[in-house]
Amino acid sequence: MKRVAVLGGGPAGAMAGERLAAGGLETIIIDEKLAWEKPCGGGITFKAYHQYPFLLENSATKKLVHETRLAAPKAGSANMRLSQPLIIYSRTELNRLMLERAEKAGARIEKVRVNELERSASGWRLKTRHGAIEADYCVIATGARNSFRQVGTVFTPTDAACALGYFIPGEQDHIDIQFLPNIAGYIWIFPRCGHLSAGICGKGESSLHLRRVLERYLDERGIRWKDGEFYGHVLPSLEWPAWRRNRVAGDGWMAVGDAAGLVDPITGEGIYYAIRSGDLAAQTLLSSASAPAQKACAYRQHLTSDFWRDLEYAASFARRIFLGSFLFGSVPARMVQFTRRSQRFQWLMQDLFAGTQNYLTLKNRLMGSLNGTLQELVLGFFLNRIIPTRNQI
């Protein structure tokens, strides 16, 4: 293997390109937009910058946020001090940072659209308006809107969410998370440098309905969204059965990030999984432990042993988190109330925001720490109702 083509210059593609070039492979990153904006908040968790310190230790423009506010209808709000700050980038700034690292490592970057992707006996032929590019292997980092049907995950309408929002002039020091009645999703307001990223994500809802819900919320908060710039995006949100059939690699290719459906089905967080999967894809291609024909299988095994099982498990109860009920109230309302009243539950929420608490051990952690008070007995009952055991799945 001599040349690898990386289709997409977002965090997943840039990380794969950097690692491949640093490992000695001729690497070309191809993207028609390169550094571009998305409506999501752009938050980097402690788990991400602890594992990849360059995400914190750089001169790029960013904001460290230490406070968040959770709110739900009929439950009020709960203020929470984050045990580890969240780093907020604009996506343009984050992409630029990572592409510069890839280029410094030796990757070649082409700002052009790939119009056609052809498989041949010797590798791949990528057709652009400038001509054709030959490659021995392809890393697919095209995001959720992947136009190449023969590679990457296969989405159904139930495996995607709509995310949309505004970039609004303004300042605040904390993150707002607002749960919504009868919507499998939430509203967010992330403070960025010089503006706010205010958005909404939801499954099974039209973009028009979600946009109206968001605008009504912003009006109630007195936030002047009409002065902002609107963006929309498709977000992978795989149902539990889809994880078993998820197509992440094949003959001569691997998919990373959103193109592989690697997004937290509860929070919608995808930046860490984009970066991590790009790293794992590069490690697999550079490794001499598997033959070229076995790379696809080896990559999937790396994903499985790293974070795949955790996201698959989360998908089994994601719907209950947003639409479930408990003791005549919604699950989000009870979560806000427990965050406000239970120190143990607040510690848990802090670790979920930091990314240091996975879903597989979530229930056992809390059940093992309850001390028998009435409040914590109720909390234990709540967890049993919401989070299934793996045997139940």
Read off the pLDDT of residues 268-295 as tens digits, 9 standing for 90 and up: 999 999 999 999 999 999 998 888 889 9
pLDDT bracket for residue 328 (50, 70, 90): confident
Same domain, yes or no: 133 and 214:
no
Structural domain count of the chain: 3
* Digit-coded pLDDT (tens) for 70-107: 999 999 999 999 999 999 998 889 999 999 999 999 99
How far is Cα 382 from Cα 371, in angstroms, rounded to an integer? 15
C-alpha Rg value of the chain to the nearest Å: 21
233 token code pair? 């995006």
Strands 174-179 and 160-169, sheet pairing:
unpaired
Picking from 177, 212, 236, the residue at the C-terminal end of a domain is: 236
44 and 96 housed in the same domain: yes
Q: Is the pTM of this model over 0.95?
A: no
Contact 124, 194 (CB under 8 A): no
The last residue of one of the domains, among 194, 213, 236, is: 236
Read off the amino acid at residue 104.
Answer: K
| Structure token digits, residue 47 | 């788990």
- Average pLDDT of the residues of the chain: 90
In a domain, 210, yes or no: yes
Type of residue numbered 184:
A
Q: By the 8 A CB rule, do 232 and 207 touch?
A: yes
pLDDT in tens, 248-258: 999 999 999 99
Count the residues in the chain.
393
Q: Alpha-carbon distance 363 to 367, whole Å?
A: 6
**CATH number for position 190:** 3.30.9.10
Place of tokens 């005549």: 328
Token digits for 296? 């696809």
Give the Cα-Cα-Cα angle 72, 78, 82 (nearest 5 degrees).
120
Burial of 125 (0-12, 13-18, 19+ CB in 10 A): middle
Structure tokens at 138: 């392809």
DSSP string for residues in 113-135: -EEEEEE-SSSEEEEETTEEEEE
Where is pLDDT greater, at 39 or 319?
319
Q: Are residues 272 and 377 in the same domain?
A: no
SS3 248: coil
In this structure, are strands 174-179 and 184-191 parallel, antiparallel, or unpaired? antiparallel
* DSSP characters over 178-192: EE-TT-EEEEEEEE-
Q: Would you state the pLDDT for residue 224?
A: 92
Domain boundary among 236, 258, 282: 236
In a domain, 373, yes or no: yes
Task: With respect to residue 57, please indicate whether it lies within any of the assigned structural domains.
Answer: yes
Which CA distances in Å does 302 have to 63, 248, 332, 352, 378?
32, 12, 34, 23, 38
- Considering the domain architecture, whether residues 200 and 211 belong to the same structural domain is answered as yes
Q: For residue 117, what is the domain's CATH number? A: 3.50.50.60
Domain, as residue range, for 113: 3-62+90-156+239-314
Torsion angle of alpha carbons 371, 373, 374, 376, nearest 10°? -40
